Structure 1
Amino acid sequence: MIPTDAARVREVWLLAATFLVAVSGLIYELIAATLSSYLLGDSVRQFSLVIGVFLFSMGVGAWLSRYVGRATQGFVWTQILLGVVGGFLAPVAFVAYGWLGDVQVLLYTMLMLVGVLSGMEIPLIARILKQIGAPEFRFENVLSVDYVGALVAAVAFPLLVIPHLGLMSASLAFGALNLAVAGISLWLFRDETGAAPRVIWALAFAGCLAGLVQSERLVSVAEAALYENDVILAEQTPYQRITVTQFQDRTRLFLDGAIQFDTVDEYRYHEMLVHPAMVLAPRAANVLILGGGDGMAAREVLRHQGVEAVTLVDLDPRVTQLFRQSAPLAQLNAHSLSDPRVTILNQDAWKFIEDVQQVFDVIIVDLPDPKNVALSRLYTREFYSLLAERLAANGLIVTQSGSPMFAREAFWSVERTLAAAANPVQPGAGLRTLAYHVYVPSFGDWGFVIAAPTGIRREFPSLPSGLRYLTAQGWAAAQIFSPDSAPLPVQVNTIQSHALLAYYLDGWDRWFQ
C-alpha cells in the first residue's frame, strides 16, 4: 500500500503533468501546421489538414492505450518517444526539405506519430490516478486541466514561443519538456519502472539538450541546404521568417522561404511598380506605400522631385528596422527609410486604411502574393473600395498582381477586382484599370495593375533620370499581352468568395508541382 503522502505527491504531479503534456502537444500541432504552411504552401489547407490529421491520430492513440498493460511504464514511454519525435519535428523537417525538396510524407508521418502518442497520454494518466487510489478521482478534472493547458499553449505560441524561440528551438525545447516529465515520473514511480527506460531516457534527454544548445547551428545547416548562397541574416519574427543571403555583391531577401528581391534584377520590378503611377498621376506629392518594408519602392518614389510625404505601412517592424538601420541593407534602398519625408507605420494594411483620414495622390500596393486567406483579403473588392476612398479624385492606385504567365487567372482576377471596386467619384462606374507586365528573371513574367476613379493616361509625360530599365518605348510594350497571358473570364475576389486564392494556388501548382 502506497503511503498517503506519497500518493498525494503522485496525484498532484500527474495533474501537473497533464497540464504540461497538453501544452507541449498543442505546441507540436502548431509547429507542424506552421511548418507545413512554410514548406508546402497554402496555410488554410495545411492548417486544416494538420488539425484533422492530429485529432484523428489522437483518437487512434486513445483507442490504442487500452492495450498498454502497465499504465505507468506506458506513460513514461510515451513521454520519451514524444520528446524524441516531437522535439526533432522541426529540425528533421527543415533539413529534409533542404536536401530532398519534398517533405510532405515525412512531416505528416511524424505528425501522426506525435498525435498517436499525445492521444495515449490522458487515458494512461487517468488509469494511473485510479491505481494510486486518488481520492475523489473524476475523469473530468483531468480533462479540465488538459483544456487549460491547450489554452495556454494557443496563447503562448504566437506571443512568446515563436518570437523568442523560433520553430527549431521551440520544437527541441518542448521535446525537452516531455522528457523532463518522463524523468520526474521515472523518479516518482521508481518502484514500478525498470532500468531500460531510464537508460533510454538519459540518452534521449542528452540528445535533445544537445540539439537545443546547437539549435542555431542546426538552423544554419538547414538554411544552407535551403538557399543557394551564404545566409548572412536569419531571424524569426512573430510574423514571418526573415532570411538574407549573399553571393559576392548579390543580395537576396526571403520571407518565409519565398524570394522578395534579388539585387541583380530588383530594379526591373520596382521601377515598373512605382514610376508608371507616379508619372501618370496629375499630382504625386503625398504617396502611400502598403508593404515594401525593404524600402526599395520608397527609394523609387523619392526619385520624383514633387514628393512631399511618403507613408509606408508594413506589418513587421523588424523588416523596416533592418532595412533602415543595417548599413549594408539600408544601402540597397539608398537609405530611403531614413529620409525625413518618409513616415513608417508598422501595422496591418487593412486596419490602417480603415482608420486613416488622410487622402493620398498615389497609393502603391507592394504586398506579398495572395497565397493564403489573410493575404487574399488585401486583394478583395472590399479592400480596394477602401483604398479608393482614401485616394484623391484624380489619384492612382497601383498594385503588384502576380504573374500573368504562371498564374494567369489570378492576375486577371486582380484586374477585374480593381475594376469592380466602388468608385467614390463616379458611383456605380467602378474603377478604370490599366494592366501591364515585365520580365524579372528572379520571378519570371510579372504583372501590375493601375486603377483610378477617372481616366488613366497611357503615355508618359516624362521619367526621372537614372532609371536602369523603364523607358517610354518599354512602357508601350509592357501593355501588350501575348495570347497565352491575355485577359480571360474570371471571378471578382471578395471577402466571401476568395476566388483569387484558388486561382493563385492552382496556377502555381500547374507549373511547379
Structure 2
Amino acid sequence: MRSTIQLKRPWLKRYDPTLVLIYLTTIIFGFTAIAHQNNLGATASLIAGDAFTQYGWVIGLTLSGLGIGFFLSRYVPDERLVTLFISVEILLTLVSGFSVVLAFWGYLNLPHLYLWFIRLVALLISTLIGVEDAMLVRVADKREQDVAQSVGLTFWFSNLGGALAGFTFGQFLMPSLGIFDLALVLGLVDGLAVIGNLLYFRSQLSRFSLKLALTLAVLVALFVTLLGKETVSSQLTQRLYEDRVVKEWNGPYGSKVLTCSTSNTCKLFINGQLQFSSKDEYQYHERLIHPAMSLLTQRIKGRPIDVLIAGGGDGLAARELLRYPQIGQLLIVDLDPDMTRQIALEEPVLSYNQGALRDPRVEVRNEDAFTFLRDDDESWDLIVVDLVDPDNVQAAKLYAQEFYAFAAARLSHDGVFITQSTSPWYAPRAFWTVNLTLQSVFPHVVPLRWNIPSFGDWGWNLASRVPFQVEDIVIDATKTRGLTTEGWHASLHFERNEWAMRDELRAKGIVSTISSPAVLLYYNQRGTWEDWGE
C-alpha cells in the first residue's frame, strides 16, 4: 500500500537559487558577526583590561542588539524589503570592517567615554545583524511560503555561522591575523557577500548603481587599509604607548607588545598590562626568588634544589634562580609558547634573562599550570608562581584554594611556595584574599611588598608547611643587584589599617575558590594608577 504521507515542502527540495543565496548569506554574516563581536571584546580587553567585564558587555550587547534589530525590522515595508536589506548589509560591512579602527579612535579621542563608544559600536553591529536576519526571514518566507520553515532555517544557518566563528576565533582567527587585520578581512568577506546579493537581486533594487558604487568604495577602503596595515596598525598601537613600539606578537593567549624608550628602557605588555620594565624588573624578581632561596639553602643540604615556576616564560625569574649552584631541575610551565619560544629567546629580552632558558638545567613545558600541578607526581622544593594578575576567570583559578592545595601536595617537606599577589595598595582586597587563601592551605604565610617604580606598590606571599622566622632569612647580596637583608625586612612592613583589612576579610570567611573566585571580584573592584599617584 502506498503511503499517503508526503512532506509539505522538503528542505530546499527545488534547490531554489534564491533560498540557497539567502541561507548562504545567513551563514556568512552569522560567522562574521560573532567573529567581529569577539574581536571587539578582545580589543576592549587589550585597551582597558578586565576581560571578564568587557566580554560580558559584548555578549549582553549582542543579544540586546539582535532584539532591537528584530523589533525595528517590523517597520520595513514589503515593497522595500530587498532594497533596505542590501542597504543594511552595506552599512554593516562598513561599521564592522572598521570596528577596531573605530575602537582605537574612541580610545585616543574620547578618553573618558571610549568604553561606551566601543560598546555603542558593538550594539550597532548586533542591531544591524538583527535587522538583516529578520529581513532574510521575510525574503525566505516569500519563497518557502512556510513561515515556520523559513524562520527555522534562517536562524539555524545564522547560528551555525556563529558557532563556527566561536570555535575558530581563539584558536585560529585572532592568533593568525590579530585584532586589526581580522576586522578588515572579515569586512572584505562581508563586502563580497553584499556584491553577490546586489548582482542577484539587481532587478528588484532601486538605485542599483549607487549601491554598487558604495559597496565597491567600502571594499576599496578596507583593502587599502589592509595593504597599509603595518603603517595604520603601528600608528594606532603606537599611540597606546608612551615609548616606541619595537615588536608585536599576537597569539591565542593574547597580544604582546615590546616598547623601548630613547634611554633604552624596554617594557613588555601583555594585553595592555605591563609585565616588566627593564629598568626595575630586578626589584620584582629578586623579591620573588631570593627570600625563598635563602630559606631553602638553609634547610636543604647535600642535594640539589628542584624548582617549578608556574608562568615566568620571560626567563627573568629563572635568571635569578640560576645564580644558585644548588639548583638541580628547573621546570618552567608557561601556557604561552610565544613567550618561551620567541620573546624570551629574542633580543632584547634574551639579554635581560641572560639566556636562562638555554641553560641545560632548564626545561620548558607549554602547559596550563593548574592542570600540570593537578596531574604532576613529582616533588618540588620550590614552587614559584609568576603569573598575570587575576583579571579573568582563567587566571583567577591560579589564585584559587584548589591550585594552592595542588601546590602544597607537590612540595617536599621543607619546600617553599611563593606567588606574586598583585598590589596591596592598588588592589588591597585582592592581595589579602590571596594571603587568606594561602593560609587556608599552608600553616605559615608571610606577606611582603615593595614599591617598584614601574608598578607602584607591589606584593607577594611566601608560604611553607614548616615554621620559619622572617629574621632567619638572610639575603646573599653577592647574588642580587639591589635586595639586601635590610631591604627584605623593609618589605615586611604593613600599616595597622592594612592588617585590619585582612582581619575584616578573615572574619567574613573570604577564600578564593574556582566556584567562588573572590580574588577576581576584588581585583575588578581595584582603583586606578591615577588613584595610586594622588
TM-score (norm 1): 0.93
Deviations 1:245-266 (A, max 9, x none): 1113211100000001111111
CA contact (8 A) 2:48 2:272 kept: no
| Cα 1:511/1:250, change in 2 over 3 Å | closer
Choose from 385, 407, 412 the match for 1:365.
385
In the alignment, what sits opposite 2:320?
300
2-side partners of 1:206 and 1:339: how far apart?
A: 51
Gaps of 5+ in 2: 1-13
CA contact (8 A) 2:174 2:251 kept: yes
In the alignment, what sits opposite 2:87?
77
In the alignment, what sits opposite 1:40?
48
Bigger mean CA offset, 38-47 vs 6-15: 6-15
Query: How do 1:210-289 residues align onto structure 2 when only pairs under 5 Å count?
Result: 210-248=224-262, 249-281=264-296, 282-283=299-300, 285-289=305-309
In the alignment, what sits opposite 2:218?
204
Percent identical pairs in the alignment equals 31
* Counterpart residue type for residue 283 of structure 2: R
* Counterpart residue type for residue 250 of structure 2: Q
In the alignment, what sits opposite 1:479?
492
| Cα 1:43/1:96, change in 2 over 3 Å | same
2-side partners of 1:266 and 1:99: how far apart?
A: 32
Deviations 1:467-510 (A, max 9, x none): 22110111111111133543522222122221111222212259
In the alignment, what sits opposite 2:476?
463
* Counterpart residue type for residue 522 of structure 2: Y
TM-superposed CA distance for 1:124, in Å, is 1.2
CA contact (8 A) 2:258 2:268 kept: yes
In the alignment, what sits opposite 1:505?
524
Choose from 116, 124, 128 the match for 2:135.
124
Choose from 19, 22, 47 the match for 1:14.
22
In the alignment, what sits opposite 2:449?
437
2-side partners of 1:480 and 1:486: how far apart?
A: 10
SS at match of 2:327: coil
Residue 331 of structure 2 is aligned to residue 311 of structure 1: yes
* Counterpart residue type for residue 107 of structure 1: I
In the alignment, what sits opposite 1:424?
none
Deviations 1:142-182 (A, max 9, x none): 22212211111111111211111111111111111221111
CA contact (8 A) 1:8 1:134 kept: no
TM-superposed CA distance for 1:127, in Å, is 2.0
CA contact (8 A) 1:99 1:226 kept: no
2-side partners of 1:360 and 1:414: how far apart?
A: 21
TM-superposed CA distance for 1:99, in Å, is 4.6
| Cα 1:240/1:332, change in 2 over 3 Å | same
* Counterpart residue type for residue 382 of structure 1: E
Deviations 1:16-41 (A, max 9, x none): 11110110111122112222223233
Deviations 1:172-229 (A, max 9, x none): 1111122111111111111122222112111111111112222232220111100111
* Counterpart residue type for residue 296 of structure 1: L
After the TM superposition, list the runs of 4 or more consecutive aligned residues in structure 1 that deviate by more than 4 angstroms.
132-137, 509-513
Aligned residues: 502
In the alignment, what sits opposite 2:68?
60
| Cα 1:483/1:100, change in 2 over 3 Å | farther
1-side partners of 2:286 and 2:141: how far apart?
A: 71
In the alignment, what sits opposite 1:154?
166
Choose from 63, 69, 89 the match for 2:99.
89
CA contact (8 A) 2:49 2:271 kept: no
SS at match of 1:273: helix
Choose from 98, 111, 118 the match for 2:122.
111
2-side partners of 1:187 and 1:134: how far apart?
A: 24
* Counterpart residue type for residue 523 of structure 2: Y
* Counterpart residue type for residue 196 of structure 2: I
1-side partners of 2:496 and 2:475: how far apart?
A: 30
CA contact (8 A) 1:437 1:478 kept: yes
* Counterpart residue type for residue 495 of structure 1: I
TM-score (norm 2): 0.90
Residue 439 of structure 2 is aligned to residue 419 of structure 1: yes
Choose from 162, 176, 179 the match for 1:164.
176
2-side partners of 1:311 and 1:54: how far apart?
A: 43
Say what the alpha-carbon RMSD is for the aligned residues: 2.1
* Counterpart residue type for residue 284 of structure 2: Y
In the alignment, what sits opposite 2:188?
176
2-side partners of 1:347 and 1:487: how far apart?
A: 38
2-side partners of 1:404 and 1:122: how far apart?
A: 49
2-side partners of 1:461 and 1:302: how far apart?
A: 18
Choose from 403, 413, 417 the match for 1:397.
417
1-side partners of 2:498 and 2:481: how far apart?
A: 26
CA contact (8 A) 2:448 2:493 kept: yes
1-side partners of 2:283 and 2:87: how far apart?
A: 57
1-side partners of 2:384 and 2:144: how far apart?
A: 68
| Cα 1:332/1:90, change in 2 over 3 Å | same
In the alignment, what sits opposite 1:426?
none
Choose from 329, 333, 337 the match for 2:349.
329
CA contact (8 A) 2:97 2:187 kept: yes
CA contact (8 A) 2:72 2:131 kept: yes
In the alignment, what sits opposite 2:6?
none
* Counterpart residue type for residue 396 of structure 1: V
2-side partners of 1:510 and 1:438: how far apart?
A: 16
